[in-house]
């Protein structure tokens, strides 16, 4: 990872703003900029360089991991250390304006830091410049994402192996998560979703103690974190004898998902990708059952910008990575969702998820 280039780009951006510095508090942004993977820290970026603050638990780790920034280890509160460090430059800092990450820096922390700073120092909401930089992945990030996607995809094979009537949803999820750990995953990207029967109509129905029953869909939505980067995939399986209605609904979702994938290319607004999926489902008479957005960015976090949703005007760029995941949900009955991760290329996109999307039925016996 080229942390020097990332920090240089941020410092160059700071030079064009009214801010004298930007305090990074969101841990994924800190990792992106300097490589720190611990759970406590702040990164202060100024035009002259960066300073990373953490506590004594991470003394050794910070000195091993942090690149292109000075490391300061707090003996007490990390935030207090930031304030005291800035106060020690009182003459220089008076009248300065520092940006904070408004979506991640709490009002309470802002007040505590403000009370520690020299009179006249201002704290204001800073630009979301790091999140915007993270939308476009570099070659190292794309490699890590591919590895995470490929590892995560193997978990579906294990799910199908153990998925039978009478087996509990949570038992299927446990088998998938155990397989992920054995394969080297850091952890799961999010709590594994295995939702069967009427629960498959819950878009985020986490695995429960409910036994799987024949005559319904099972939605499996899962992902892993590998070397810090996330995967995200959904496949839907039918259990038992298949009805024509179920097959039609599944095929409509698959067609909608493919239409959205086909729409992905540099320059297109993400709202148009969302519209491509909705058009297919409306034509099939299922439009009102598609109740969420079509996708989102993925990287160091499972949900990143851009949001692929109706009316969103962000335009795709090459090397962005997004999900395409339309679904239909019939409350009290069942639901279907199909999700792939795709990388935007110069000519269109590459589907990263290798798993087949053909209709799959697991028999009762």
Determine the pLDDT at residue 88: 79
CA angle, residues 286, 288, 291, in degrees to nearest 5:
110
Task: Output the pLDDT for position 365.
Answer: 59
Question: What was the pLDDT predicted at 93?
Answer: 52
Residue ranges per structural domain of the chain: 3-133, 136-362
Res 95 pLDDT > 80: no
The answer, yes or no, to whether residue 118 has pLDDT greater than 90, is no
- pLDDT of 122 reads 87
* pLDDT tens, residue by residue, 290-303: 999 999 999 999 99
Confidence class of residue 94 from pLDDT cuts 50, 70 and 90?
low
Q: Which fold has domain 3-133?
A: Creatine Amidinohydrolase; Chain A, domain 1 (3.40.350)
Residue range 120-143: mean pLDDT, rounded: 93
pLDDT in tens, 351-365: 999 999 999 999 765
Residue 233 has a pLDDT of: 98
Q: Does domain 136-362 have CATH number 3.90.230.10?
A: yes
Whether the per-residue pLDDT at 91 is higher than 70: the answer is: no
pLDDT tens for each residue of 135-166: 999 999 999 999 999 999 999 999 999 999 99
């Amino acid at each position: 990872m080229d942390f020097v280039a990332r920090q240089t780009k941020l410092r160059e951006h700071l030079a064009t703003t009214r801010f004298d510095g930007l305090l990074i508090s969101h841990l994924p942004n800190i990792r992106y900029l300097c490589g720190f993977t611990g759970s406590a820290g702040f990164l202060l970026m100024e035009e002259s360089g960066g300073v990373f603050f953490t506590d004594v638990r991470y003394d050794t780790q910070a000195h091993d991991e942090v690149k292109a920034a000075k490391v300061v280890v707090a003996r007490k509160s990390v935030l207090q250390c930031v304030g005291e460090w800035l106060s020690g430059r009182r003459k220089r800092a008076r009248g300065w304006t520092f940006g904070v990450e408004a979506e991640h820096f709490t009002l309470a922390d802002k007040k505590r830091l403000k009370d520690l700073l020299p009179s006249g120092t201002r704290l204001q909401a800073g630009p979301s410049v790091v999140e915007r930089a993270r939308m476009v992945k570099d070659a190292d990030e794309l490699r890590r994402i591919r590895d995470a996607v490929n590892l995560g995809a193997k978990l579906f094979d294990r799910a199908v192996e153990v998925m039978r009537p009478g087996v509990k949803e949570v038992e299927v999820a446990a088998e998938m998560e155990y397989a992920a750990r054995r394969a080297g995953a850091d952890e799961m990207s999010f709590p594994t979703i295995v939702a069967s029967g009427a629960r498959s109509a819950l878009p985020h129905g986490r695995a429960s103690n409910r036994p799987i029953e024949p005559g319904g869909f099972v939605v499996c939505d899962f992902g892993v974190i590998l070397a810090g980067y996330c995967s995200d995939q959904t496949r839907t399986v039918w259990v038992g004898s298949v009805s024509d209605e179920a097959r039609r609904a599944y095929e409509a979702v698959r067609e909608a998902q493919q239409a959205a994938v086909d729409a992905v290319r540099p320059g297109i607004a993400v709202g148009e990708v969302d519209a491509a999926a909705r058009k297919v489902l409306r034509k099939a008479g299922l439009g009102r059952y598609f109740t969420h957005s079509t996708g989102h960015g993925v990287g160091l976090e499972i949900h990143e910008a851009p949001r692929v949703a109706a009316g969103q005007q962000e335009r795709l760029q090459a090397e962005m990575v997004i999900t395409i995941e339309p679904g239909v949900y019939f409350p009290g009955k069942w639901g279907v969702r199909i999700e792939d991760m795709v990388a935007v290329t110069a000519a269109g996109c590459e589907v990263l998820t290798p798993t087949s999307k053909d209709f799959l039925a697991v028999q009762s016996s």
